[in-house]
Structure formats: C-alpha cells, structure tokens
Amino acid sequence: MADTVAVIGEFVGTTLFLFFAFAGTQLANFGKQIEYDNQFSLANLLYISAAFGFGLMVNAWIFFRISGGLFNPAVSITLHRKV
C-alpha cells in the first residue's frame, strides 16, 4: 500500500512541477512575435529558469514526505524495488 501511495504522490508531484514550469515558460514568452522578435533575452532566460527552479523546489518540499522528493521514475523504481 505504501508503494502505491508513493507512486501516486510522485505522479501528482511530477505533473504539478511540469505544469508550473511550463506555465512560467509560456508566461515569459507571452506576447512575443516569433518572426520579428527573435532576439536573445537574458531576463527571459532567467525568468524561465527561475520558474523551473521554484516549481521543483515547491513540489519537492510538498511531496518529500510521500515519495522522498524524487521526481524521476527510474530512480524511484530502483529505490523502492524489493530484492
């Protein structure tokens, strides 16, 4: 039963992490015209990296009691595998 709760917790945590990270990326790129405004923006890059960082930090902090804060299924399957 504990493994099932950990798997569900990891799935929900990964889903929320990706949702917040990609929402931050879309917000950073909102209103840009691709064909005309194709310049590199350091502020845009920092905003996107901060969105990914804060998304991972918040979700790891919320779900560390359930799945250990691991959001990589390969690592979780390896650590929870019973030999």
Which of 6, 25, 23 has its CA nearest to residue 71? 6
Give the distance, in angstroms, between the CA of residue 78 and the centroid of all CA atoms in the same chain.
Answer: 20
The pLDDT tens digits of the residues spanning 8-60 come to: 888 888 889 999 999 999 998 886 666 555 677 888 889 999 999 999 899 88
What's at 28, amino acid-wise? A
H-helix segments, the chain: 2-28, 42-67, 73-80
The pLDDT tens digits of the residues spanning 51-70 come to: 999 998 998 898 888 877 77
Neighbours of 27 (CB within 10 A): 12
pLDDT at res. 43: 86
Grade residue 81 by pLDDT with cuts at 50, 70 and 90: low
Name the pTM for this structure. 0.74
First to last CA, the chain: 17
